[in-house]
Structure 1
């Protein structure tokens, strides 16, 4: 039932004309809400920072609307790991069952240290601003193959910013006289490159032109183990000033009225700083405002139209500056909202005298078109006061819209509505108050209350050793801050968990709402019929077009088959449409599965070209959390790296993890490239870990015979090349066409110009899911197919991105005999439990063992019940 119909009883006293018009406007708003459901996503991560060799474990929660019911709109979620250089280094699809999904990312040994982003979204969410995707910045260090610490500082000359980068090993030894190749990247393009050498103390300097406002430095050099290392150094702007901005509530400072102002003070790095603002009219102080520790504050101020205002800020670091004051408007509206009353929200609309015209004004409280309250008053005086009971409102970001008699908003203001009953109560009981090393912990969880009719809930739990966590977990993003706040606000929110730490921080939330943009709808566009480019993705789909051979013209009514290469007897078929379009939908298959698509025309001939549609990925916008990006990650997390190296040694000893394998970077110094100029290598011809030229192949009878034993990190099993890292089959690309690996035997060795081996993530990342196991790029001498008498028509091989296959979290059990017991158990993530379900009585439980770490452990449990109530509980316990 549409919620707004419940609101119209108060309108019975309206004049008939106005009643009908406001009803039509609200009906349009509700139509907008119904056709544009807001889908939101949150990922519960097992911890807050990672290192190479570890796995990022996560649980996805997808909800619909401000009431946060589990979403059944989408069945697939896209989750991406984005590098500091704004490249997607890993992308997976996970199934969503009633809005819930589980996934993981393995961080390979070659991953470059830095500030990474985890971005998650559904296909439906792509219809709207990507500012509302789940997007979180995490720090990843590397002590597997990197083993180099950097510390960076910046000074400024007249023309350049000069970066001083100190290089040393994990043991603290300087990387002296080290040759470094570097590139300066700005707005995704290489704008400068060169070489430098570190001095005896391991210090290298690089000049960067000041015209590049947000540069990224990419360094390449050898560490002490002669392993090639890549470093990314985030641009640092030296000697910049703090900044303070004034935000009038409702958008304007109105003359001869009381105005509310919010203020926000930030440092050059984008983080808040405590400050004090003084506003003067001549020599008289008319308001003085102090911010909280996050740099936000608010106050009211009365302004006369003849006032000349000047403002000055003093920051916690002692610096001072003059602050621009918004212009004073003699005509217009201003708004004052009081959200701190326990039972009501009050809003006072101030109106300039020229606009007091006896016409109607409408007070609407809504969320993206879902209306919760409406009232109206006539413009009979300079001040109108509206009020709404808080028990009529949901918990989350809602908007006050003041509409004029033409039903156009003259002022809007978002505020955070909070009702304690919308938060899911949680009670955690442990079997003991404290524990010793390698002792079992029994956890009992009780959610909801005895009076609840529904107590089923989906939950996830993580346990970490706090002594190995450097980040402030209490202020990190959590399920409450994401689904209730961040999903409706635009821009960077510093320390989002701060607003929901044990209790809702109402005062500071008001400061945030006064200074932050929010998600809104355009009232003018309500007349426009809503169309959506991206439909909800329930399952996987493979689609394309059948074309007449060698032409663009459609081949209609072609018989198309989709055949799994795992079982050639397993296939489905369909007919293409008049324009040649065909589609196989309602598919679910794991990632890395290959298919054959075959087609025949109405005469049963295969003289057809098949064109497969490829997924259009959303663009990568600038990181809204850029203030959290860091350089020198290894130095900051060096203790964590040393702990992880010891733990990885235990895993390797027990056969639970492969030893780190150095992938040699091949630098081609010859004047002529050994790789074919017409190579289809997406990194560019010759950009590979290893290159085999036609000259190298000249003495071999078969291609497999030539390659076996010559390729570093590649072995052949039954004619199929396997990457020794994981012993997994590699993808083979012949002249830009993805082929089956066993078809190498069909390639005439005399026709091959070059073979390029891609195993390093720097080269494989560009291939997305195709590059997960490494690739062999084979280029023929003519650039055409080198297949001996193999010219397929009406047949293509494809490897679409499938569903991610989840890994299993390893859980040592110390109360039974176990051959894989650790000599030293130095885990950081002690336990990960993504699939907890509370029963009808709100009960569930789990167990785990402590490690060898002593001190405080942190347990975080998050989840949602069937009524849309969100819950989070974080407790600490001690291991002695």
Structure 2
């Protein structure tokens, strides 16, 4: 048996980073990127598209606090954005999009989060009305769309009650088989990985057509099993469950190759290749590809038995997914196998610490491979479960070799969510279609209130958030399209659109927003792929290319939102009913024959003072009995952002359109929560029943979701999580996405186990700016 060492990759990494790279968050066009190098780094960026796509290829590494959740639960996450062949933690983008998709790839909810220093963190609330089942959580930048959804990291999230019992018959219907080299080959040693749904045990035996036992199946307690056996030519084989039911294995090929990998060694991936005797005289080559780049091609020399061993140095390949392919001289694929290269340059040690109180403690220490302490930032998830309820604990082991073995088996079975499993062998794209993103964007098409298009028209946009008010001006093109770029808006914002006109109706502008089309979901298992092929679009939605909005934007597809979500139509009434049928403290009616200005309408209301009446900046002062805190303005039932003031109301609502104003104090305003701690002022506009001059003003008002304002885990733990029933689900005890070690590389974490919870598990991850990674998970059993 011949053994070779594979040292020199064929791909010359002339573009490798030699140090930490900082990039300015800029530019729609790649050539416009202003790169600021570190003083230790002399980096001459190539301007052609292929070099750019190679050097700036991004990968998102996701760490979540849980994989099992309930509706209205919060999923906490930390995202590391790694760039280039050496996977340094840096990104030229400052926008990360996170999405929750159902099993068919339909979008359930999405959010935008800021990227800072190559990382992003936040919380994601699971919608209240979702059916129990498997969902998928993924994160990506716009630049990553150039490479396709195969490169997106997608984590499976179970939402709803866990199915605790299941018959073997039901389990057998969902078992998928994954031969290590892609197929079972007669006369060769084959390892077969198996994966079932919902963590159902894979217990049983491999039998032939006559019922003879060929091999046993090893179950690893997480819905994954494996077996090693040598199939015979012309035979059929089955997986037989202990209840007697059976499932056929893939067909055995007469001629072929097998690949077996031992990934336990820190320095090498030990690979054993076996071929049928008919292929002994063929020239066969082993290729290693990662993210579309071929890192090595090695001709394989077999011994007289058709066996060869190859050691793949891990230092010559980037961390992440490496796709091994065995090809002949005509590039025909004979065997293939995914391999996860995990280089833990940083070691994370976790030791339980017993305190004098009921609290438990964890002492965490981070060192490099030489044992030197490392000051770094960790993301930490600590979760607990009732006894026997957390199947994940079966793979939480402090033994790094055991972790590598399980991870490798999960990669082989298509169940490893740390990296996108389909990205290894896909070639790089040959053009840049999506640009870097340095802020949020808004695309829209403008109409007047009679639904007539507004081409080549100047549009004024007033954007209000809780902290600021912005004014923008754009000009639509010949199709009435326009876009805003570089928006840095936190939380919900209100947008009001208007243009020049003789009266209010001709001034107001209705806008249909557009957004990027949701990329298709690429998942791992055969079952999921089949379900995606069956899914169809629920409705026809018009599409436009981004170039339609701006000539230099590119060919990225965008998709129109349903206009119904923008306009809340109401039945015409002579007078609008009060919101929630609440009896207001004070009501002021407008006299349409002798209309008053909006500030004048408040004159004479007991306790309310109008300061600066007649000036350019009037303001209201409510009595102390209204409460201490902010005042909430509500226009026709739509709460405006917290920072809205009297002047903005005057600009938004002409006095002639006011029907009445209601003032709510104390308990009356409690329906709006803390936003109305200082009272609520409700403005009702005329319905049109009295006059044909009614103006649907709300059609010019649009709610826009900026960067998501995440809830802190401490606040969630103290309030939100206590209001819901756990129903025996795993519970996150502690989450910290930015846990810092001291100069000694150490940090102490304290926690308490809730009543009824007998076991816990800790998971830690760190990635430094120069790409050094550390990861560990450990069970904390009683």
Aligned counterpart in structure 2 of residue 60 of structure 1, from 79, 87, 92: 79
**Structure 2: which 5+ runs fail to align?**
1-7, 15-47, 529-561, 590-597, 599-629, 639-643, 661-681
The alignment status of 1:339 with 2:262, answered yes or no, reads yes
Aligned counterpart in structure 1 of residue 709 of structure 2, from 787, 805, 808: 805
SS in 2 for 1:474: helix
Contact residue 440 and residue 488 of structure 2 kept, 8 A: yes
Residue 29 (structure 2) aligns with: none
Residue 348 (structure 1) aligns with: 273
Distance 1:41 1:585 in 2: 27
> How far apart are 1:415 and its partner, in Å?
2.6
The alignment status of 1:288 with 2:215, answered yes or no, reads yes
> How far apart are 1:93 and its partner, in Å?
2.0
Residue 237 (structure 2) aligns with: 311
Residues 268-417 of structure 1 correspond to what in structure 2 (within 5 A)?
271-279=200-208, 287-293=214-220, 294-301=223-230, 303=232, 307-315=233-241, 317-321=242-246, 323-324=248-249, 326-330=251-255, 333-339=256-262, 342=265, 343=268, 345-348=270-273, 350=275, 353=278, 356=281, 360-376=283-299, 383=306, 385=308, 387-391=310-314, 392-407=316-331, 409-417=333-341
Please report the TM-score for the alignment, with normalisation by the length of structure 1. 0.55
Residue 421 (structure 2) aligns with: 519
Once the two structures are overlaid, the 10-residue window that deviates more, 796-805 or 28-37, is 28-37
Taking a change above 3 Å as real, the CA distance of residues 471 and 59 of structure 1, as seen in their structure-2 partners, is same
Q: CA RMSD in A?
A: 5.9
Taking a change above 3 Å as real, the CA distance of residues 356 and 578 of structure 1, as seen in their structure-2 partners, is farther
SS in 2 for 1:806: coil
Residue 563 (structure 1) aligns with: 462
Q: Alpha-carbon deviations, 1:65-97, whole Å to 9, x = none?
A: 686532414422333456899986654322121
Q: How many residues align?
A: 614
SS in 1 for 2:80: strand
SS in 2 for 1:799: strand
Distance 1:745 1:114 in 2: 50
Aligned counterpart in structure 1 of residue 768 of structure 2, from 845, 861, 865: 865
Residue 431 (structure 2) aligns with: 530
Taking a change above 3 Å as real, the CA distance of residues 75 and 800 of structure 1, as seen in their structure-2 partners, is same
Contact residue 456 and residue 865 of structure 1 kept, 8 A: no
> How far apart are 1:276 and its partner, in Å?
0.7
Please report the TM-score for the alignment, with normalisation by the length of structure 2. 0.61
Contact residue 499 and residue 508 of structure 2 kept, 8 A: yes
The alignment status of 1:460 with 2:375, answered yes or no, reads no
> How far apart are 1:382 and its partner, in Å?
8.7
Residue 835 (structure 1) aligns with: 738
Contact residue 546 and residue 611 of structure 1 kept, 8 A: yes
Distance 1:252 1:116 in 2: 28
Contact residue 476 and residue 482 of structure 2 kept, 8 A: yes
SS in 1 for 2:711: coil
Distance 1:615 1:857 in 2: 42
> How far apart are 1:506 and its partner, in Å?
4.7
Distance 1:369 1:610 in 2: 45
SS in 2 for 1:309: coil
SS in 1 for 2:393: helix
> How far apart are 1:598 and its partner, in Å?
3.9
Residues 744-823 of structure 1 correspond to what in structure 2 (within 5 A)?
788=693, 790=695, 796-810=700-714
Taking a change above 3 Å as real, the CA distance of residues 288 and 465 of structure 1, as seen in their structure-2 partners, is closer
Distance 1:101 1:510 in 2: 27
Q: Alpha-carbon deviations, 1:613-657, whole Å to 9, x = none?
A: 3224526859979999xxxxxxxxxxxxxxxxxxxxxxxxxxxxx
The alignment status of 1:426 with 2:348, answered yes or no, reads yes
Distance 2:318 2:578 in 1: 65
Taking a change above 3 Å as real, the CA distance of residues 3 and 37 of structure 1, as seen in their structure-2 partners, is farther
> How far apart are 1:42 and its partner, in Å?
1.0
Contact residue 658 and residue 686 of structure 2 kept, 8 A: no
Taking a change above 3 Å as real, the CA distance of residues 573 and 456 of structure 1, as seen in their structure-2 partners, is farther
Aligned counterpart in structure 2 of residue 260 of structure 1, from 176, 190, 203: 190
Distance 1:586 1:243 in 2: 47
Residues 166-245 of structure 1 correspond to what in structure 2 (within 5 A)?
241-242=172-173
Taking a change above 3 Å as real, the CA distance of residues 31 and 374 of structure 1, as seen in their structure-2 partners, is farther
> How far apart are 1:588 and its partner, in Å?
0.9
Once the two structures are overlaid, the 10-residue window that deviates more, 292-301 or 382-391, is 382-391
Q: Alpha-carbon deviations, 1:248-271, whole Å to 9, x = none?
A: 44334556x52524152647x673
Taking a change above 3 Å as real, the CA distance of residues 386 and 581 of structure 1, as seen in their structure-2 partners, is farther
Distance 1:501 1:51 in 2: 32
Aligned counterpart in structure 1 of residue 111 of structure 2, from 92, 95, 110: 92
Distance 1:472 1:94 in 2: 31
Residue 32 (structure 2) aligns with: none
Aligned counterpart in structure 1 of residue 156 of structure 2, from 112, 136, 156: 136
Contact residue 290 and residue 318 of structure 2 kept, 8 A: no
